Amino acid sequence: MQTMYKFDFGTETPGHEHIKITAETLYSPELGYGFHSLSNVSAVNRAGEEAALTGDFIIPLNAAYQVDVADGLYTLHLLMGDAWFDTETSIRGTEGQMLLEGKLIPAGHFERYSMTVPAVQGRIVLYFSGRAPRINALEVLPAPHACQVFLAGDSTVTNQPADGYPYAGWGQMLPAFIKADAAVSNYARSGRSSKSFIAEGILEQIREKMKPHDYMLIQFGHNDQKRDEGRYTEPNSTYRDFLRRYVDVCREKQATPILVTPVHRRCFDGKGRLENTHGDYITAVWELAAEEQVPLVDLAALSLEYFNRLGPEGTKSVFMWGRPGEFIRFPQGVMDNTHFQQRGAAQLADMVVGALKSLGLQPLSLFLR
């Protein structure tokens, strides 16, 4: 299986050492690359533009492009633009992770954008959207030594499935804030507690892939409060004990653990002030971070201030609150006080990145946009 590719998208003769991708390049396992569907893919050539990579391009309108490679980390270098018109492109990656959101490029300009992503189950898939998306060229290069930022957590962190749009976890939006020096690997899973995440072997999956100088952000608490045997932990004993195991795995692999206090739910009292439904679980994370001298992102405090500022009505634009007919996939409406819609998840990811910058961890601080 080839691990390095250079693709030239459009209609004309490919650039030097590039593989030409046209509007008829449909993915097949034998080919190892191509679009999943050609129904919304078109190729354009700007007459008079002689540059091999900028004179023609593909418009991938809500289209997915797949490249088969061995599992691992890869840096992608994308060239995007149009000689005649403004463009706007968004790109999602594995499990809907946001890689690039609403990238605007003025007419006559071309920009290179780089990111590092994990290949999962032998493939990289890029999902293109936006009002006027473009792709001129793409390079796929192995990046085995790139830093990996692992996420361990629950549904507030996870990559929510596409059929639940606009549901999103803050970890799903985090890659858009990370430079090409690092990749985000989101192992957070809905419904998991610090206990069940370990029992299901997910922490062990992270341990197997973790290497020195990687990072792991750890946020649990929502499901640790559930009273079933498989998930419940007591904040001042078992919850701290299980979180300590994540810290131990990082130290065993010479990586850096970062504890994250659980983000608040949308729960307001009669005076319009946010209620703390996590209680001693937040305190336990603080105490463990101090005891183990582990960096801490206090997302509980950040979300408390943010949600109080927005108030009961304003926070509906952060959480999955939709009127009947507002969201295509929820025609009867939805009222969810725990999970986020995409714009809210992006705000929380931005808060996490701001907190990480404040910590001044090196080299992580250099990898944050």
Residue stretches of the chain with pLDDT short of 70: 1-2, 47-50
Specify whether 98 is located in the same domain as 170. no
Question: What does the alpha-carbon distance between residue 214 and residue 254 come to, in Å, rounded to a whole number?
Answer: 8
Looking at residue 49, what is its pLDDT?
A: 56
* pTM, full prediction: 0.95
Tell me, yes or no, whether 87 and 204 share the same domain. Answer: no
- Measure the CA–CA gap between 261 and 348, rounded to whole angstroms: 13
CATH of the domain at 340: 3.40.50.1110
Copy the structure tokens of residue 222: 């929502």
What per-residue confidence (pLDDT) applies to 44? 95
Do residues 170 and 209 make contact, with C-beta atoms less than 8 angstroms apart? no
Cβ atoms 325, 331 nearer than 8 A: yes
- End residue of a domain, out of 114, 142, 170: 142
Residues 81 and 137 in one domain: yes
299 in Cβ contact with 348 (< 8 Å): yes
Question: Residue 99: which domain range?
Answer: 5-142
The tokens of 6 are what? 């250079």
Whether residue 263 contacts residue 170, with contact meaning beta carbons closer than 8 Å, is answered with yes
Which residues, in sequence order, are CB contacts of 365 under 8 Å at separation 6+? 356, 357, 359
Measured distance CA(40)–CA(34) in Å, rounded: 13
Backbone angles phi, psi at 173, to 5 degrees: -90, -15
Residues 138 and 156 in one domain: no
- Asked if residue 266 and residue 127 are part of one domain, the reply reads no
Are 160 and 53 in a shared domain? no
Same-domain pairing of 122 and 186: no
Biggest CA-to-CA distance, the chain? 70
Could you tell me how far CA 306 lies from the centroid of its own chain? 21
Choosing from 100, 121, 142, the residue where a domain stops is: 142
Q: Secondary structure of the chain: what % helix, strand, coil (to 5)?
A: 25, 35, 40
Three-state DSSP state, 217? strand
Quick: pLDDT tens for 62-120: 999 999 999 999 999 999 999 999 999 999 998 899 999 999 999 999 999 999 999 99
Looking at the structure, do residues 187 and 285 belong to the same domain, yes or no? Answer: yes
Tell me the CA end-to-end span of the chain in Å, nearest whole number. Answer: 33
**CB-based contact 257:296 (threshold 8 Å):** no
Side chain identity at 53, as an amino acid letter? L
CATH of the domain at 40: 2.60.120.430
Residue 218 shares a structural domain with residue 108: no
Q: For residue 346, what are its two tokens?
A: 């992006």
In a shared domain, residues 114 and 232: no
Same-domain pairing of 81 and 152: no
The last residue of one of the domains, among 111, 142, 173, is: 142
Q: Is 89 left (phi over 0), alpha (psi -120 to 50) or beta?
A: beta
Beta strands in 161-295 (DSSP E): 167-168, 182-186, 215-219, 256-260
Number of domains observed in the structure of the chain: 2
Contact 218, 296 (CB under 8 A): no
Question: Are 195 and 290 in the same domain?
Answer: yes
Q: C-alpha angle with apex 54: 53 to 57, nearest 5 degrees?
A: 85
**For residues 82 and 131, is the Cβ–Cβ distance under 8 A?**
no
